[in-house]
C-alpha cells in the first residue's frame, strides 16, 4: 500500500473512508482540521490506497509550531484510521508520518487511535514501528483512554429496557414534570455555553473559551457533524449537550446542566432523546466518551458521578490501546518530555485564574 499526501480531488474519498470506517472519528475529518486551523494548527491529510486504487488508510496529522523554536509537533487525533488487523498498513502509515515529521522539523508524532486495548495486533504493530507509550491516567492524555459505548443495534425498546431501573424512572419523571427537549441551532451556542460555565464552576473543571464553541459549531455544522440539544423547564434552558454524528456512530461530546431544577432530572431525558435521535440517523453506536478506566480510583466526586451516570445507561466500558509518541529526534524528544508537564501545569494555572476558561 502506498501512502501519500492527499490531493484536493481526493477529499471526497478521504471523508467517505473516515465516515464509514469502524475506527473513524470526527476528529479525523476535514471539518475538525478547519476548526483546529483557527487556533494555529496546520493540517496534513495522508491517504493510503491498495494497488487496485481502493482507499485502505487515512490520517489527519495536525502540525503545531513550538514557540520561539524552529521545531514542531505532529498530532493525529484519534488516528490513524486503518485496518488494525493488517500490521503492514500501519507500518506504511508510520513511515509516511515519520517522513512528514522530518520535513516539517517535528520532534515527535503523537497518535491515540480508538482501538480497543484488547486488540491482538494493534499494540504490537505500534511498538514495532518505534512508538513509545505515554503513561497517563484515563483523563491524563490528550483524549480519554477509556470511554463507554452503547450498542443501538438491538432496537430502542430493548435498549431502553437495558437501562438501570432508576434511570428509566428518572426519564419518565422528567417527562411527567414537563421537561422539554428540543434541538437548538448556532444562535443558541451561547445559551449552551452559559450553562457549561455554570457546570464547570460547580464541578471544578476547565472548559475552552466561548469563541472555540462558536468556531466548532461553524465548521462542523457545514458538514452536518454536530447537533445541539437543550432541555427546558418552565420556559428556561436548564441543561444542554453537543452531539457529534457521523456514519454509524454518535458521540456525546459536551454536556452541561444548571444548578437550578436538578430534581426534575433533565440530563436523563436529554440522553435518552439523543440516543433516539442517533438511532434515527442510522447510528448503531452511541459513544458516551470519557470515563475513568476500570480499576482506577477517580480523583474527584465529579468523575465518580460521571462514571455512575453513564454506566446507568448500560453502556460498555471500552479501554483503548492508549496514546503513543514516535520520537523523531530522540535528544529533542527527551527534552520535550521534561518541559511538557511544566507547560501543561502553567496552562492549567492560567485557566484557573481566568475563572475556569481554558485559554488554548
pLDDT in tens, 107-125: 999 999 999 999 989 999 9
Rounded Cα distance between 168 and 5, Å, is 49
Q: If you search the block for the grid coordinates 458521540, which residue do you land on?
A: 251
| Helix (H) or strand (E) segment spanning residue 153 | none
The SS3 call for residue 266 is helix
State the pLDDT at residue 358: 43
Report DSSP state, residue 258: -
CA 153 to chain centre: 22
Concatenating the DSSP letter of every residue in 193-204 gives HHHHHHHHHHHT
Rounded Cα distance between 231 and 191, Å, is 11
Joined grid coordinates for residue 325? 509518541
State the pLDDT at residue 354: 41
Helical ranges in 2-56 per DSSP H: 11-20, 30-37
CA 139 to chain centre: 12
pTM: 0.93
**Fold held by 2-137+320-358:** Aminopeptidase (3.40.630)
Q: How many CB atoms lie within 10 A of CB 263?
A: 9
Fold: same for 2-137+320-358 and 153-283: yes
State the pLDDT at residue 120: 87
Contact 113, 80 (CB under 8 A): yes
Q: Among the CATH numbers 3.40.50.970, 3.30.70.360, 3.40.630.30, 3.30.465.10, which is that of 153-283?
A: 3.40.630.30
State the pLDDT at residue 91: 98
Dihedral angle at the C-alpha atoms of 220, 60, 332, 145, nearest 10 degrees?
70
- The residues with which 146 forms a beta bridge, in sequence order, are 319
State the pLDDT at residue 211: 96
pLDDT in tens, 144-192: 999 999 999 999 999 999 999 999 999 999 999 999 999 999 999 999 9
Contact 171, 265 (CB under 8 A): yes
Q: Which residues of the chain fall short of a pLDDT of 50?
A: 351-360
Question: What are the residue ranges spanned by the domains of the chain?
Answer: 2-137+320-358, 153-283
Rounded Cα distance between 331 and 81, Å, is 29
Amino acid at each position: 500500500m502506498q501512502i501519500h499526501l492527499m490531493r484536493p480531488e481526493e477529499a471526497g474519498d478521504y471523508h467517505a473512508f473516515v465516515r464509514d470506517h469502524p475506527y473513524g472519528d470526527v476528529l479525523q475529518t476535514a471539518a475538525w482540521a478547519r476548526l483546529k486551523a483557527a487556533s494555529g494548527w496546520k493540517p496534513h491529510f495522508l491517504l493510503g490506497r491498495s494497488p487496485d486504487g481502493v482507499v485502505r488508510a487515512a490520517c489527519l496529522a495536525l502540525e503545531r509550531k513550538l514557540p520561539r523554536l524552529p521545531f514542531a509537533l505532529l498530532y493525529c487525533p484519534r488516528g490513524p484510521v486503518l485496518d488494525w488487523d493488517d500490521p503492514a498498513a500501519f507500518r506504511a502509515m508510520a513511515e509516511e508520518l515519520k517522513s512528514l515529521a522530518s520535513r516539517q522539523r517535528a520532534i515527535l508524532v503523537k497518535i491515540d487511535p480508538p482501538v480497543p486495548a484488547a486488540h491482538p495486533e494493534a499494540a504490537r504493530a505500534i511498538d514495532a514501528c518505534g512508538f513509545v507509550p505515554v503513561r497517563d491516567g484515563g483523563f491524563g492524555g490528550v483524549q480519554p483512554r477509556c470511554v463507554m459505548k452503547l450498542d443501538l443495534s438491538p432496537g430502542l425498546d430493548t435498549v431502553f429496557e437495558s437501562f438501570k431501573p432508576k434511570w428509566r424512572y428518572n426519564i419518565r419523571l422528567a417527562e411527567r414534570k414537563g421537561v422539554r427537549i428540543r434541538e437548538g441551532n448556532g444562535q443558541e451556542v451561547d445559551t449552551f455555553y452559559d450553562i457549561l460555565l455554570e457546570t464547570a464552576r460547580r464541578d471544578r473543571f476547565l472548559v475552552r473559551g466561548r469563541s472555540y464553541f462558536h468556531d466548532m459549531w461553524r465548521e462542523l455544522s457545514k458538514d452536518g457533524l454536530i447537533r445541539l440539544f437543550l432541555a427546558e423547564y418552565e420556559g428556561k434552558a436548564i441543561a444542554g449537550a453537543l452531539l457529534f454524528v457521523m456514519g454509524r456512530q454518535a458521540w456525546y461530546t459536551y454536556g452541561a446542566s444548571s444548578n437550578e431544577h436538578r430534581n426534575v432530572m433533565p440530563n436523563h431525558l436529554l440522553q435518552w432523546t439523543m440516543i433516539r435521535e442517533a438511532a434515527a440517523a442510522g447510528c448503531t453506536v452511541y459513544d458516551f466518551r470519557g470515563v475513568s478506566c476500570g480499576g482506577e480510583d477517580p480523583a474527584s466526586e465529579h468523575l465518580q458521578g460521571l462514571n455512575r451516570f453513564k454506566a446507568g445507561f448500560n453502556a460498555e466500558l471500552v479501554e483503548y490501546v492508549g496514546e503513543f509518541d514516535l520520537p523523531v529526534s530522540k535528544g529533542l524528544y527527551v527534552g520535550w518530555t521534561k518541559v511538557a508537564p511544566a507547560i501543561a501545569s502553567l496552562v492549567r494555572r492560567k485557566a484557573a485564574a481566568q475563572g475556569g476558561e481554558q485559554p488554548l
